[in-house]
């Protein structure tokens, strides 16, 4: 991609009401644009990163034998009344149509998926079923002040699994737990498994919490074995696994998994005939990841005073090639060469921008490798390469670039 043609550009100023680090860097870098509190447009750069995160999530869900679906955002009021959540779900957006019919804007999808299942599940032979989607969710959050960490419109992967027995469900819960570990490891986040209360519809839940001073949650993190307990439920003084001491830490919840009680199955009569021909309610589990929150969390964790430092797997591009004045021909050739090797390159071909400003923008955007071919380097058939995370550039032979960045 040529930076001269990239839609969205870096900015010196951010909206005055944006306090969070993630929103400030993402807006300044031209990754997202703020529409109103908790609502953002993803610009081309930002969408590349969001898509990478979501594709990692997708890959791990598919590997766990879940199937992707896409459910509506507009939900019939009747379904929400049936579960009682039309009145009790505090952050539900309720809207009405021209003909005065009322609808919910989906904040979560039990109210769609359970009724859907009744059309496809008759016998134990139809189970298990694991369905997920990656979709825009709507929640009327009162405190949408943390950029992508808390949106009123945001992206979530939500997966629901249905089983003939709670033992089967518990076994799948463990599969998901592993899939979650893989997801967070692959996107580059250190997410700590955190025991939490299940709320109304579950006995327990496991949250994946990224320790960070700007997180809204407080967890008690075991200083020894890397698990935690959410402080909202904690009665413990020491780690339940190893007896280690617990330290109070702020954290960002990037995902959670929990077995569901039979409430929704009862509400929507989601039952099946077991081997003996007896009618049974399905056993279910629910598994969420806030994919746009993951993007915000990555910026909260990986930044310095000058900008973002994306982990490789989710960086919008792998290489940021700096066009050098007077060396346009060489830079162009390098651009073509890298692209032909399948390396994602953002090429700063902007003519009117000074080198200093290009470097500052490169630091802000946080692409892992900055590449430069100048008069001096080219004489020796070399290029200058600098990792975003390091201060000092290195000089490597042109033909070694590929090897270096892999
Ligand atoms: P929180 O306690 O932070 O409000 P939650 O318990 O309401 O989260 P769930 O309803 O289980 O979260 O949603 C699943 C995941 O979606 C969360 O783990 C989080 O990563 C993400 N998420 C929830 N609310 C938001 C939001 N307003 N903006 C962005 N991501 C969110
Ligand atoms: Mg919430």
How far is the C-alpha of 330 from the C-alpha of 43, rounded, in Å? 30
Rg of the Cα atoms in the chain: 24
Residue 282 DSSP class: P
How far is the C-alpha of 74 from the C-alpha of 331, rounded, in Å? 49
- pLDDT reported for residue 103: 98
Q: Which pTM was predicted?
A: 0.97
- pLDDT reported for residue 240: 87
Determine the atom of ligand 1 nearest the C-alpha atom of 205. Answer: 11
The ligand minimizing its distance to the Cα of 255 is 1
User: Please, what's the largest Cα pairwise distance for the chain?
Assistant: 81
- pLDDT reported for residue 289: 98
Query: To 10 degrees, what angle do helices 291-301 and 21-28 make?
Result: 90
Q: Which two tokens stand for residue 230?
A: 């959410």
Positions of the chain with pLDDT under 50 = none
Tell whether ligand 1 has an atom less than 6 A from the beta carbon of residue 254. Answer: yes
One-character DSSP codes across 305-365: TTEE---GGG-S-SEEEEP-TT-HHHHHHHHHHHHHTT--EEEE--SSS-HHHHHHHHHHH
CA of 228 to the centre of ligand 2 (A): 20
CA of 88 to the centre of ligand 1 (A): 17
How far is the C-alpha of 127 from the C-alpha of 48, rounded, in Å? 36
Structural domains of the chain ordered from first start? 3-301 (3.30.930.10), 319-405 (3.40.50.800)
The ligand minimizing its distance to the Cα of 151 is 1
Which residue out of 32, 156, 200 has the highest number of ligand 1 atoms within 8 Å of its CB and is therefore the one to mutate? Answer: 156
- pLDDT reported for residue 170: 97
CA of 149 to the centre of ligand 2 (A): 11
Tell whether ligand 1 has an atom less than 6 A from the beta carbon of residue 61. Answer: no
Tell whether ligand 1 has an atom less than 6 A from the beta carbon of residue 110. Answer: no
């Amino acid at each position: 991609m040529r930076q001269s043609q990239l839609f969205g550009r870096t900015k010196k100023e951010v909206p005055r009401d944006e306090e969070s680090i993630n929103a400030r860097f993402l807006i300044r870098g031209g990754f997202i644009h703020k529409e109103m509190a908790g609502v953002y447009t993803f610009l081309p750069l930002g969408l590349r990163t969001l898509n990478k995160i979501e594709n990692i999530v997708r890959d791990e869900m598919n590997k766990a034998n879940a199937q992707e679906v896409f459910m509506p955002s507009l939900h019939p009021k009747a379904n929400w009344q049936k579960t009682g959540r039309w009145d009790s779900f505090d952050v539900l957006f309720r809207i009405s149509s021209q003909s005065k019919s009322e609808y919910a804007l989906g904040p979560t999808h039990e109210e769609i998926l359970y009724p859907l299942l009744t059309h496809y599940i008759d016998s134990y032979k139809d189970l298990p079923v694991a369905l997920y989607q990656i979709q825009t969710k709507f929640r009327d959050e009162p405190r949408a002040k943390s950029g992508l960490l808390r949106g009123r419109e945001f992206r979530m992967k939500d997966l629901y699994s249905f089983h003939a027995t709670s033992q089967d469900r518990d076994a799948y819960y463990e599969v998901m737990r592993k899939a979650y570990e893989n997801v967070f490891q692959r996107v580059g986040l250190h997410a700590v498994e955190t025991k939490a209360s299940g709320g109304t519809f579950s006995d327990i839940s496991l949250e994946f919490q990224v320790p960070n001073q700007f997180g809204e949650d407080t967890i008690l993190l075991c200083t020894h074995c890397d698990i935690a307990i959410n402080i909202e439920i904690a009665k413990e003084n020491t780690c339940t696994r190893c007896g280690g001491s617990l330290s109070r830490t702020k954290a960002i919840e990037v995902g959670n998994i929990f077995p569901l009680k039979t409430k929704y199955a009862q509400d929507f009569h989601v039952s099946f005939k077991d081997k003996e021909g007896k009618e049974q309610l399905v056993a279910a589990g629910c598994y969420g990841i806030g994919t746009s929150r993951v993007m915000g969390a990555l910026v909260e964790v990986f930044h310095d005073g000058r900008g973002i430092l994306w982990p490789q797997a989710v960086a919008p591009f792998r290489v940021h090639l700096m066009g050098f004045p007077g060396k346009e021909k060489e830079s162009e050739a390098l651009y073509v060469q890298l692209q032909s090797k399948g390396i994602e390159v953002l090429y700063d071909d902007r003519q009117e921008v000074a080198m200093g400003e290009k470097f500052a923008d490169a630091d802000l955007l946080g692409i892992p490798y900055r590449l430069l071919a100048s008069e001096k380097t080219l004489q020796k058939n070399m290029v200058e390469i600098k990792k975003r995370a390091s201060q000092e550039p290195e000089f490597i032979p042109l033909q070694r670039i590929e090897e270096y960045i892999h």
